[in-house]
Amino acid sequence: MSFTIYLDDCLDDDHLIALLRQEGFVVISPRKVGTIGLSDEEHLNYCARNGYAILTADADDFSDLHENWRSKGLHHAGIIVICRERDVRKHMTNRKIARALKNLLEACEKSEVPIVNEFIVLNQWR
């Protein structure tokens, strides 16, 4: 399974990157490509130009962006969000994020359901 995922600034973490790479993902870090600090829309534009799905914990802003892009007929390679739980003990750990992303991709491959132009909440794939 070769899949390229771009981490939003809020998830650009060396431990998460290592876990995702262990699962076979190609991971793009804003720190490594010089896009750290861009606005959410600039991150999404960067991903769309390069064919990367974006992984973010900024669900509200990216939900709005997704709807805005959809209304304008713009396309992206997928927005995958992690929703923070009210109970911080239920937050997804880096290991759970990597496992959930793998579960999501395997399900999409089996069912041939695309991630392109979709807004997906990763929490339900734990």
Domains and CATH numbers, the chain: 3-125 (3.40.50)
* pLDDT at residue 84, as a whole number: 80
**Pick from 19-23, 77-81, 84-88, 103-107: least confident:** 84-88
How would residue 3 be classed by pLDDT, with cut points 50, 70 and 90? confident
Contacts of 89 (CB under 8 A, 6+ apart): none
d(CA 19, CA 69): 31
List the single range of 10-24, 28-42, 102-116 with lowest mean pLDDT.
Answer: 102-116
Task: Please state, rounded to an integer, the average pLDDT across all residues of the chain.
Answer: 93
Lowest mean pLDDT among 62-71, 73-82, 84-93: 84-93
The confidence score (pLDDT) of residue 95 equals: 95
Q: Is the pLDDT of residue 24 over 60?
A: yes
- pLDDT of 45 > 80? The answer is yes
Q: Which residue bears the tokens 């995922």?
A: 5
Residue 26 has pLDDT above 90, yes or no: yes
CA separation for the pair 76, 95 (Å, rounded): 26
pLDDT at residue 1 greater than cutoff 60: no
- Interval 35-44 mean pLDDT: 96
